[in-house]
Structure 1
């Protein structure tokens, strides 16, 4: 008499695939949270935008093209530059949690009236996009940007967000970060950037491949002058100390 219990039948293949698919959201959360948590302490050797720009250049046959990038801690960068980018792009940086709801509401109202499309992207959102994502306006990219922004604000202090921004932002075609910009344009280190130079760098951020910080046209000059006024109104370097 055979006393062996028959082995259970294997689960249908579709159920096995269903279980695997159900694990994907958890895997996504684990991977992305780990990414952001690690970068709170580790300086990135490269960003998604840098890789995309290098690939674009090689795809066009520009084999000698090299992205310019050199990390500098926030303490090694002139305080004029982080203050300038806050004045230019995100004056509520210290108080919001990644999304400036007032700016979003104004942008939607402005766009609804048929005026020029106006964005409301915060510094945290720009870090999320530049560091992890790609150029474009798809809903998928915007959703991922929002997710990474939430993680960045939850896991990083404000000073780390600002430090990351001034290191990975593009200040010219293939020129990323304060040190590369200072060396490329004025042959100096990022710690020696003047208030005027910092304002010009911040002025080109909406379109760093169209405008030049080293040879500013009328638009960049006007915007840089406005940025310097805003820097003074924010309280100068005392504003940065409040981020501690």
Structure 2
């Protein structure tokens, strides 16, 4: 019985190792090949097909040299101001988010109603790892896999390539993916021609694109974009 259990554990360990090697191989190929789609995009396509019986989709890859520095700075300033320096995980940001979530949950429990708003502390690399390969479920196992994928991305790809893939695959609205599609949809222009304020407005939308796409010119988006513009010059590019 004990020997059978040890064999089972060995098989499971080998399966996990093979899966990690498969992930590593996929990521290594991204140095020369852009990903055709992400796990999140595929799940969104299935959801749209199921809910609306059609898939309205917009995405167009743009190489790094055509992605404006203003957009890169705006996204880094808004989403992950330590992107160029950290190794994939910003532990201080995670700790800060944890404390804020605990306080929010305590306020909800004190009122006896409502739902606490969850604040994330994920870096750009963590977001890319999740979008590329994982589901949206929140489990310790999935979080552990996300961490492993994050470290693989940081090890096997340059920061420039990570940011390039992120900006070309991240969601900017329902069925709207990548900076080029977002620039054309919201501003009727090529992404390379985005001004600083336009770039800041797109960056502000990233945490909740489906919500902000209904009112991309709302007072909140405009006000937050102005704040991001003030931080853009100090955002460090990789």
Structure 1-normalised TM-score?
A: 0.85
Task: Describe the SS at the equivalent of 2:233.
Answer: helix
Alpha-carbon separation, structure 2, partners of 1:92 and 1:215? 26
Alpha-carbon separation, structure 1, partners of 2:141 and 2:6? 28
Which of structures 1 and 2 has the larger relative contact order (alpha carbons within 8 angstroms, sep 6+)? 2
User: Residue 29 of structure 1 is aligned with which of 20, 30, 35?
Assistant: 20
Alpha-carbon separation, structure 2, partners of 1:118 and 1:172? 20
Alpha-carbon separation, structure 2, partners of 1:19 and 1:232? 52
Task: Describe the SS at the equivalent of 2:172.
Answer: strand
RMSD: 2.2
Alpha-carbon separation, structure 2, partners of 1:104 and 1:154? 21
Alpha-carbon separation, structure 1, partners of 2:204 and 2:174? 15
Q: How far off is 1:213 after superposition?
A: 8.4
Q: How far off is 1:40 after superposition?
A: 2.1
When structure 1 is superposed on structure 2, of 103-112 and 176-185 the one drifting more is: 103-112
Q: How far off is 1:222 after superposition?
A: 1.2
Alpha-carbon separation, structure 1, partners of 2:137 and 2:202? 23
Q: Give deviations 1:170-227, integer Å, cap 9, x for gaps.
A: 1111111011111222222111111111101100111000003873211111111111
Alpha-carbon separation, structure 2, partners of 1:111 and 1:15? 41
Task: Describe the SS at the equivalent of 1:182.
Answer: helix
Alpha-carbon separation, structure 2, partners of 1:92 and 1:160? 16
Task: Describe the SS at the equivalent of 1:233.
Answer: coil
Partner of 2:145: 144
8 Å CA contact 1:124, 1:152 repeated in 2 = yes
Q: Give deviations 1:59-100, integer Å, cap 9, x for gaps.
A: 11422x232111111111121111110000111111100111
Partner of 2:183: 182
- Structure 2 regions of 5+ residues with no counterpart? 106-116
Partner of 1:75: 65
1:174-213 equivalences under 5 Å are 174-212=175-213
1:47-58 equivalences under 5 Å are 47-58=38-49
Q: How far off is 1:13 after superposition?
A: 9.1
8 Å CA contact 1:133, 1:141 repeated in 2 = yes
Partner of 2:92: 102
Q: How far off is 1:140 after superposition?
A: 2.6
- Structure 1 regions of 5+ residues with no counterpart? 1-11
Deviation beyond 3 Å, 4+ runs, structure 1: 12-22, 114-117
8 Å CA contact 1:183, 1:190 repeated in 2 = yes
Q: Relative to total residues, which structure has the larger helix share, 1 or 2?
A: 2
Give 1 or 2 for the bigger CA radius of gyration: 1
8 Å CA contact 2:204, 2:224 repeated in 1 = yes
1:14-25 equivalences under 5 Å are 20-25=11-16
Q: How far off is 1:22 after superposition?
A: 4.2
Structure 2-normalised TM-score?
A: 0.87
